Chain A
C-alpha cells in the first residue's frame, strides 16, 4: 500500500515538476506569476489529441508537434499580453495573466466543447498500459516508467540548456539583473520569449502525459494542475529550477500519501495548505534565494 502510493505520488510529482519549471523560469526572469501557464499545459494535451485524430500523426510525433505549438503559444502570450506591460505596475501584469488564463480556457471550451474526452487511446502504444514490474503488490506500469523517463530526460535537457549554453547563461544573467544583462549586449526580449517557449514546451509534455495517464482531458484541467504546479514552484523556492523539480516531487508524494492515509476528499487541499504554509513560514522555499521584497 505505502509503496504503491509512493510510486503513484512520484509519477504525479514529476508531472507537477514539469509544469512547475515553467512557472519558476518565467518568475525568475520577469517576476511574473504566469497564471496562463496552466492553460498552456491543458492546450498541450488538446493539441496532441487533435494532431492524432485529425491529422493521423503517430503518438510520439504528435507529442513533439504539441510541444512546438505550445512553445509558439508561449511566445505569442509573451509578445501579445506581457511585453506591453513590462514597465507597468506588477498588479497590471498579474491581472493580465489571470485574464489570459480565463480567455484561453474558454477558447478551448468553444473549440473542443466543455465536456471531458478520453485520450485517443488507439494511437497510444499498447505496451504502455501493461505492468512492467510487480513486486510485493506494487504495480509499475510501462506508462509510469515512460512518464518518469520522459520527465528525467527533459529535466536533464533543461539543466544542460540553462547551465551549458549561451542562451542559458543569458537567462541566468537576466534573472540576476535585467539592466546589466542588457548592457552586456543580451537581447532581453528575445531571451524572455525563449524562456516562455521553453517553459511552455515542458508544460505541453506534462499535459499530454497527464491526459494519457488518466485517459481524460477537459478545458478546465489546467486550473487545478496549474495551482498545484505553482505550489510546487513556491515550495521549492520560486525562481529556482532545481527547486521546482524537488518541490513537484515532494508535493506529488505528499498528496498521494495524504489522499491514501488522511482523506481523499482534501486531496487538492494539500496543495493549497502547502502553498499558504510555505509562503507564511518560509517564503524562500526549500532551495530558493532569500526573498527581500516582492512588492
Chain B
C-alpha cells in the first residue's frame, strides 16, 4: 500500500514546497505550517525517550524552553548569528539533559516521569522568577530575526529573513535534518541498543548493553533536539515568555508521539500535523461557541484517553509496520496464528 502511495506523496511534498512561492499563498496558513514543522522537530526529539527507550518523559518542554531562552538571550545580549547559536543552544540543552539524566536514569517508570515533570516545572519557575536574566513574566521581546551575514565576502551581502516564507523553508530544512538523523540512528547500533532497553532492560544488560550510557545518550540527543526546536522558535516568533513552556506543551508533544504510535518517526510527524491543525481549528471554532480558546485542551485530553482505551499503540504502531513488511515475520505470524487457534482451548490462561 505504501509503495502505491509513494508518487502521490512526492507530488504532495513538491506542491507543499512550492506553495509559499505562489502568488496566492497565505501568511496565516504558512505560519500554521511552520508551527507544525516546529512541533514535528519536538515530536521527533521526544519520541526518542518514550518511543525508543520506553522512558516516559513529562518534562520535554523544559529543554525546548532552555533552547529558546539560550537562543533569545544570546541574540539580545551578544548579537550572535543564528548559525552560531543553534549549536550552542543544542549543546546547552544536551548539557542539561545529561545533568538531569545521570542521577535520574536509574529510575524507571512513574518515578522517572515525575522527576522529569518536576524538572520542567523548575525551568518555568526559573524563567519566571529570575527577572534579571529573563525579564520574568514580561517576556523577552525584540529578538533579532535570522540573518545571513556574508559581509566578509561583499559588504552588501547581508540578508535578513523577514516574513513567513524563508522561515518555512528553514523549518523544512530543520525537519528534514532531524528526520534524517533519526532514521540513521534508528537502524544503527545506538538505536538497536535503545530498542533492546525498551523491550527488556534486564535482557539488554545481560547482552552487554551499557544501560546507563545509552540512556544518557538518549537523553542528551532528545534534549538537544528539543533545544534546537526552541532555538528556531525564538528567532522565528521573536518573542518569548515563560508561559510558552508550561506542562501542557509537554503533554501536547507527548500526545503527538502517542497518537502516531510510540517509536514511529513518521507517526510522530503525522501526530504533529493532526494535533496542531486540530488546535488551530478549535481556536477558530471555540470563540464562536462562546468558549475560551484554551478549552481546546479538553479535546486533547479526551483524545488521549480514547486512544489509550481503543488504540494504545497509536495509529501507526512502529513494530507492527516494520514486521508487516518482512515476509519471514509474515509467515511466522501466520503459522503462529494457526497454532494458537488450534490450541486455544488448551492454553487459554
Name the interface residues of A265-295: CB closer than 8 Å to any CB of B.
265-266, 268-269, 272-273, 275-276, 279-280, 283, 291, 293-295
* Nearest chain A CB to B258 CB, angstrom units: 6
Chain A residues contacting B58 (CB-CB under 8 Å) are 98
Q: Any chain A CB within 8 A of the CB of B308?
A: yes
- How many of A's residues come within 8 Å of B, CB to CB? 47
Name the interface residues of B279-331: CB closer than 8 Å to any CB of A.
291-292, 294-295, 297-298, 300-305, 308-309, 312
User: CB distance A99 to B305 under 8 Å?
Assistant: yes
User: CB distance A275 to B118 under 8 Å?
Assistant: yes
User: CB distance A100 to B305 under 8 Å?
Assistant: yes
- Segment from A52-60, A105-113, A201-209 that makes contact with B: A105-113
Name the interface residues of B87-111: CB closer than 8 Å to any CB of A.
103-104, 107-111
Q: Any chain A CB within 8 A of the CB of B122?
A: yes
Chain A residues contacting B104 (CB-CB under 8 Å) are 279-280
Chain A residues contacting B297 (CB-CB under 8 Å) are 102, 105-106
A167→B74 CA distance, assembly (Å): 61
Q: Any chain A CB within 8 A of the CB of B76?
A: no
Given contacts A102-B251, A109-B292, contact A33 B308 (CB under 8 A): no
Given contacts A102-B298, A280-B103, contact A275 B312 (CB under 8 A): no
Chain A residues contacting B309 (CB-CB under 8 Å) are 81, 84-85, 96
Q: Any chain B CB within 8 A of the CB of A94?
A: yes
State which of A106, A268, A269, A279 has its C-beta within 8 Å of the C-beta of B295.
Answer: A106
Closest to B309 in A: A84
Main SS of chain A's interface residues?
Answer: helix
User: CB distance A88 to B312 under 8 Å?
Assistant: yes
Q: Any chain A CB within 8 A of the CB of B129?
A: yes
Chain A residues contacting B308 (CB-CB under 8 Å) are 85, 88, 92-93, 95-96, 99
A-B contact count (CB 8 A): 125
Q: Any chain B CB within 8 A of the CB of A193?
A: no
A89→B109 CA distance, assembly (Å): 10
A227→B108 CA distance, assembly (Å): 19
A283→B110 CA distance, assembly (Å): 12
Q: Any chain B CB within 8 A of the CB of A117?
A: no
Q: Any chain B CB within 8 A of the CB of A6?
A: no
A94→B109 CA distance, assembly (Å): 10
Q: Any chain B CB within 8 A of the CB of A47?
A: no
Looking at B50, B119, B295, B303, the one whose CB has the most chain A CB atoms below 10 A away is B295
User: CB distance B108 to A94 under 8 Å?
Assistant: no
User: CB distance B305 to A266 under 8 Å?
Assistant: no
Q: Any chain A CB within 8 A of the CB of B254?
A: yes
User: CB distance A103 to B119 under 8 Å?
Assistant: no
User: CB distance B295 to A110 under 8 Å?
Assistant: yes
* Nearest chain B CB to A41 CB, angstrom units: 17
User: CB distance B122 to A103 under 8 Å?
Assistant: no
Q: Any chain A CB within 8 A of the CB of B121?
A: yes
User: CB distance B302 to A103 under 8 Å?
Assistant: yes
User: CB distance B305 to A81 under 8 Å?
Assistant: yes
Q: Any chain A CB within 8 A of the CB of B56?
A: yes
User: CB distance B121 to A227 under 8 Å?
Assistant: yes
Chain A residues contacting B295 (CB-CB under 8 Å) are 106, 109-110
User: CB distance A107 to B122 under 8 Å?
Assistant: no
Chain B residues contacting A91 (CB-CB under 8 Å) are 50, 54, 56, 262
Q: Any chain A CB within 8 A of the CB of B274?
A: no
Chain A residues contacting B110 (CB-CB under 8 Å) are 31, 33, 90, 94, 294
* Nearest chain A CB to B35 CB, angstrom units: 20
User: CB distance A269 to B122 under 8 Å?
Assistant: yes
User: CB distance B294 to A106 under 8 Å?
Assistant: yes
A103→B308 CA distance, assembly (Å): 14
A263→B302 CA distance, assembly (Å): 38
* Nearest chain A CB to B263 CB, angstrom units: 12
A129→B110 CA distance, assembly (Å): 41
A91→B257 CA distance, assembly (Å): 13
Given contacts A106-B294, A106-B295, contact A283 B251 (CB under 8 A): no
State which of B118, B129, B258, B301 has its C-beta within 8 Å of the C-beta of A103.
Answer: B301
Q: Any chain B CB within 8 A of the CB of A234?
A: yes
User: CB distance B298 to A295 under 8 Å?
Assistant: no
Chain A residues contacting B103 (CB-CB under 8 Å) are 280
Q: Any chain B CB within 8 A of the CB of A119?
A: no
State which of A93, A96, A272 has its C-beta within 8 Å of the C-beta of B122.
Answer: A272
User: CB distance A276 to B118 under 8 Å?
Assistant: yes
